[in-house]
Every structure is written in C-alpha cells, then in structure tokens.
Amino acid sequence: MYGFISLSWVEMTLRSDEIMLRYIQETTTRQGLGIEAVLHQKKYEKGIGISDEQMTEVNLSNYKILPQWNFTIIPNS
C-alpha cells in the first residue's frame, strides 16, 4: 500500500502529522481497498531492547516476500 499512499500525496506539502494521516486514511486502490490509520503520539525511550527469551514469546507471522521486513504481529490468546 505504500506505493498508493505515496501517489496520494505527490506534490503535496505535508505540514503536519494530521495532514499526512488524512492522506493515508483517504488512500484507496483501484479495487477500493482502503487503509485504517491512527496517530500515536506516545514518546518511547530509545535503545530499549528485549531478551531472546522475550522475543520467542512474540507471535510473528512472516510473509514469503521480504520476510525480514514484511510480517504481522498476532496477539497471544
């Protein structure tokens, strides 16, 4: 979807997070697929890591194409 988002704001000045968010939310494909997006403004500390043990508890589903970048985090039940 990133390509479609990029096309929706071509030549636009993204002056604020809200403007950028609106363009993302209004983006659709030719088939009508849309995007749900929200802006989180919580500040997170940098450099916080997790242990290998904690990482094994994260339920990741990797895609076949670029699996190191393309994945879904699935909630644990």
Please check whether residue 44 lies inside any domain of the structure. Answer: no
- pLDDT single digits (tens) 19-46: 888 888 888 888 888 888 888 889 989 9
Number of domains observed in the structure of the chain: 1
Domain housing 28? 1-39
Q: Return the C-alpha torsion angle 67, 69, 71, 76, nearest 10.
A: 110
Q: Return the C-alpha torsion angle 26, 38, 48, 62, nearest 10.
A: -60
Q: What is the pLDDT of residue 1?
A: 67
How far is Cα 3 from Cα 11, in angstroms, rounded to an integer?
14
How far is Cα 18 from Cα 25, in angstroms, rounded to an integer?
10
Q: Is the whole model's pTM more than 0.85, yes or no?
A: no
Please check whether residue 26 lies inside any domain of the structure. Answer: yes
- What token pair was written down for 63? 């895609």
Please check whether residue 30 lies inside any domain of the structure. Answer: yes
- pLDDT single digits (tens) 7-18: 777 777 888 888
Q: What DSSP state is assigned to residue 58?
A: S
